[in-house]
Amino acid sequence: MTVLVLQKASVPVQEPKALIKSDKIHPWSLAVTEDGKKQKSQGLEIHDVLMIFISLNVNGLRAALCKGMADFFAASQPDFILLQEIKVDVPMDLALPEYSSEWNFSGQSGYAGTAILFKRKPLKVKQDFYDTNFNGEGRLITLEYPSFFVVNVYVPNSQGPLKRWYYRLDWDSALLDHLSHLCLQKPVLVGGDFNVAHHDRDIYPENTKNIEKQPGFREEERGAFDALLELGFIDTFRFLRADEGGAYTWWSGKYENRRNNRGRRIDYFLVSKSLETKIQESSIFSNVTISDHAPIKLMIEL
């Protein structure tokens, strides 16, 4: 297998506000034995330990590496890293040796694709849906662990030809079916780029005028997101910050939109309602400029 190696650049890591620190040991870190010696926990299942997830639409993995992505994650040390829109067709050396990874390529050079990095080997890995009509663009990876699922998702953008709009709606339905199946088994954590601003407060105020007809804010797309919440998922950011405005995860490159914070919140971490009391923090690294998207962070006890 060919592995590409790029030299990384340095980027300062800025923590999101209200970051909660914890000294809890997570299940695959070092455990202390009776004689005081540290040893590997050998995959023991330990519940209610703080775990960190970070998701980022990199808008091209090669570019993100050149902008310091590896340094950012090395300093942040999340347990899981969810990447979308990687735009590569072979695995790359991300200079993060403590992680293992799974990749789902689009089959089209320079287009879409997802990857997920993790410190603990999952029980199972599933790429894409069981319905093959919606596969081939590398938009979904599911990891199964003994007590939960982790799903990395990159929902299609509905702009472009009309047939792409219908594809998006069908893809949303396929995602709902997939998550419904998982929820019957154990709690689910879903992160990634959903390509929809759910409410008016998730898009900058000046852009709400006549926004209903724009991709990513159409009634049907928002309705599909509603369906996920009705299934039993919680938008972790809104769970903790119900009315906060000016919190966005993506900015167009035009008209200095990022500098002026004219953006949209289209990246999310959703979790099963059964995990509601376990959510510790859900934040946005709005000042980290690796991509036109900001990394988002979830801290949760699992």
Using alpha carbons, select from 99, 95, 103 the residue that is nearest to residue 71: 95
The residues near 83 (Cβ < 8 Å, ≥ 6 apart) are 55, 56, 57, 58, 61, 114, 115, 116, 117, 152
Dist CA 69 CA 84 (whole Å): 13
Structure tokens at 3: 């592995």
Dist CA 154 CA 270 (whole Å): 13
For the chain, list the domains and their CATH numbers: 18-301 (3.60.10.10)
Predicted pLDDT at 107: 86
**Residues annotated as catalytic (active site), given as ranges:** 154, 193
Predicted pLDDT at 14: 45
* Torsion angle of C-alpha atoms 72, 77, 82, 86, degrees rounded to 10: 30
Predicted pLDDT at 208: 59
pLDDT along the chain (302 residues), means of 10: 42 40 34 32 57 98 97 98 97 96 94 97 96 91 98 91 86 97 98 95 76 77 97 98 95 90 96 97 97 98 96
Structure tokens at 283: 């934040």
Predicted pLDDT at 224: 97
Predicted pLDDT at 199: 92
Predicted pLDDT at 47: 59
